[in-house]
Amino acid sequence: MRVVVVGADEVGRSLARFFSSRGDDAVLLDAEASAITEAEEGLDVLTLVGNPLHRAVLEMTRPAEAGVFYVTTGSDATNLAVGAMAHAMGARRVIARVDDAAFFRGVSGIERGVLGIDAVMCPARLQSNELLRQIRALEVPWVGDFAEFAVQVVLCPVSAQSKWIDGPATGVKLADGCSVRGVVRDGFLRPVHEIPSLTDHDLILLAGPSAGIPDALRKLGHISRLNRVVVVGGGSSGRQLCEQLGSSGARLQLLESNRAVAVDLSERLPGVHVIHADGTNLDTLRDLQIETAQVVVAVTQTDEVNLMVALVSRQLGVPHTLTVVHRPGYSDIYQHLGIDGVVSRHEVTARMMATAAVADRAQSAGHLPGTQHAVVEFVVPEGGPTAMGQIAVPSHALLVAHCRGQEIVQGPLEPGDVLVFAVLPRSIPKLAAAVAGARR
């Protein structure tokens, strides 16, 4: 497959490296000769220098021959314009990056069909979604995001104080689109109809929109230990993370060193206590009694600041620290320093963009702890099944969610719908073939 990448930054180089390692014919274009020179030192790809907005330059990449065409420069306007041009020139699949979060309607950070572009992705939102998943994973055995963040799947224990204890699993009623999809008992994932009486030794497989998960957990009797969360850094990621954490019930505090930004955020985030303060200042953190926070998340634009905030917070007694890292390749180093969660915006974006091209959507898979199952998503193809009954689902597999766009739905299937299953790994190829084979 021929792959064109416009933009030789960390994301662009990661994409070019990924497809080159697969044996694909990768082309990397950038307007700056210095960026191309740096990329050539570690990549075995065809490189071009030129302004991608110039039609003659873009034609040199041969868009019509590209199986996928990426645009990931530092300019949102350039990315959208070049993406639209590539689509008009016949590129089969176009994926573009847009950093401005205000461009996007939902919280997923992914828009489809804009100017003929197959997928537009927001690095800041992808990063904040991953941070939210890692924060939630501090309290439950497992959390996974699927169908481009339309559904979050959680494995959580049944509380002895739950009102559903000793009752049938089918009787558990939740709101906000959340539902119990299965129960793990004695190492086996079972359908809800096989559990006539829940016990406090069971684990519940819960699925629903991310915003509805905290309330669903509370209704299941889960008592959150994350009563206070402190976010350091009021940039795009910090603001979005606070907005998404709003439903968690935790006391949220946001530290921002720029006074004007802090004042603006205090107006835009009414449910968050915004504090004008330096998150690396030891005296400031002591005055804030930072040790009473269960989680500190450092999301400033500077790696050194983020690392200092995380290390100082741990030293002062904060049990969990998470941070973003901007330099590629530093994630492992941060984790070796004892930081609970590390998220690289460039790595998350490159991974989502790469997998979106491989399978039309960013497919996800995760092993379900305590079982032999994995949670996997499949996309209904054009000419595919119109009903679940047309798919030969293995007897041990459970349907976890049926998504259309950013909605969890029921009923007939349409092309592009995402089906999320819990399935034994050995049966994943068989189930994928069943979905693909249904088109005949």
Instruction: Evaluate whether residue 348 is within a structural domain.
Output: no
CATH number at residue 189: 3.30.70.1450
> Quick one: tokens of 317?
């007694």
pLDDT value for 54? 94
- Are 234 and 334 members of one domain? yes
Asked if residue 164 is part of any domain, the answer here is yes
Q: Is residue 67 part of a domain?
A: yes
Q: Which of 204, 219, 234 marks a domain boundary?
A: 219
Contact residues for 41 (Cβ-Cβ < 8 A; gap 6+) = none
Tell whether 270 and 328 lie within a shared domain: yes
Q: How confident is the model at residue 235, as a pLDDT?
A: 86
Instruction: Tell me what pLDDT residue 164 has.
Output: 87
Query: In this structure, are 237 and 313 located in the same domain?
Result: yes
**Same domain flag for 308 and 378:** no
Do 373 and 423 meet the contact criterion of CB atoms below 8 Å apart? yes
The answer to whether residues 212 and 229 belong to one domain is no
Q: Is residue 346 part of a domain?
A: no
**Domain stops at, among 203, 219, 235:** 219
Both 181 and 265 in one domain: the answer is no
CATH code assigned at 277: 3.40.50.720
Instruction: Please tell me whether residues 275 and 207 are part of one structural domain.
Output: no
Q: How far apart are CA 297 and CA 144, in angstroms?
A: 20
Closest CA to 25 of 49, 4, 48, 50: 4
Is the same domain home to 265 and 180? no
If asked whether residues 229 and 212 sit together in one domain, one would say no
Looking at the fold, whether 100 and 155 belong to one and the same domain comes out as no
- Beta bridge partner(s), residue 273: 253
In a domain, 347, yes or no: no
Answer yes or no: do 236 and 269 share one domain: yes
Give the mean pLDDT per block of 10 residues along the chain (440 residues). Answer: 89 85 86 87 85 93 91 93 94 90 79 87 87 90 90 90 87 88 92 91 92 88 86 88 82 92 91 90 89 93 88 91 82 75 83 69 74 91 87 92 89 90 91 71
Residue ranges making up the domain that contains 41? 2-123
Whether 345 maps to a domain, the answer reads: no
Nearest residue to 66 (alpha-carbon basis) of 120, 34, 24, 115? 24
Whether 359 is covered by a domain: the verdict is yes
Based on the fold, state whether residues 180 and 239 are members of the same structural domain.
no
Per-residue pLDDT, 25: 86
The domain boundary residue, chosen from 88, 123, 158: 123
Q: How many domains does the chain have?
A: 4
Q: What residues have CB less than 8 Å from 47, skipping those under 6 apart?
A: 8, 27, 28, 29, 30, 36, 39, 40
The predicted structure's pLDDT at residue 10: 84
- The whole-number pLDDT of residue 401 equals 94
Residue 73 is predicted with a pLDDT of 93
Q: Does some domain include residue 128?
A: no
